[in-house]
Amino acid sequence: MVSKKQKFVADGVFYAELNEFFQRELANEGYSGCEVRVTPTRTEIIIRATHTQEILGVNGRRIRMLTSIVQKRFNFPEGTVELYAEKVAARGLCAVAQCESLKFKLLEGLAVRRAAYSVVRYVMESGAKGCEVVVSGKLRAARAKSMKFSEGFMLHSGNPAKEHIDFAVRHVEMKQGVLGIKVKIMLDSDPTGRLGPKNPLPDIVTILSNDAKDEAPIDGPVSESKIPVAAAPEAAPAAEAQVPVEAF
């Protein structure tokens, strides 16, 4: 009998090893993470990537090969593990995909500043609220340093940071040494849940009107005086008719 603690540790180790294997094997296909769903009859592994057709291969040959490797490595019974490929909805809003993109740009010899700014610009054009890219290591000189490139709005603490921020880290083995890459993307809220979390930020205030008839459309500038107007003096009462006093 496996205790709860051992089960959680075993699940974490399984996911970490599986994720590392896909990172090495599917780096050129734009691997962007995986999801493991366990059912009573089988285990489903969903691979998210930007180029799903290359993961499937010709007539599904490559994904069958990956299924066989996973099945033999983790001792799954025959036919109890299935691999699926899912295309990333928005590549510009996926931190893992942008981290891999920056990694390949640096390996091709592109300048660090130019590569980082191209990633930041692409993320912001895809509809993100903010983006931050940190590259650290021996960039030019022998002395290691860290360069940060950021744009837009970024949260760093609290529960909204857990929900709205997508984060990824990669290591690039260059000739002069290993470079570290961190990419943080601040996602905007999306009611459908496809391009971001469903819950909006807690500081957003939406004013709802109960009766729209009271609000007349405003076509131009309007000014309103708040100074109270003095009341007009009342008209003096008509002069009473003077009664002649009779002389006695």
pLDDT digits (tens, 9 = 90+) for 3-25: 899 999 998 998 999 888 888 88
State the pLDDT at residue 181. 93
What distance in Å separates the CA atoms of residue 133 and residue 122, rounded to the nearest whole number?
12
State the pLDDT at residue 120. 92
State the pLDDT at residue 214. 62
What distance in Å separates the CA atoms of residue 155 and residue 161, rounded to the nearest whole number?
6
State the pLDDT at residue 215. 66
pTM over 0.75? The answer is no
- Which residues of the chain fall short of a pLDDT of 70? 209-216, 231-248
Residue environment code for 22-60, b if the CB has 16+ CB neighbours within 10 A, otherwise e: beeebeebbbbbbeeeeeeeebebebbbbebeebbeeee
Token pair in block for residue 59: 């007539």
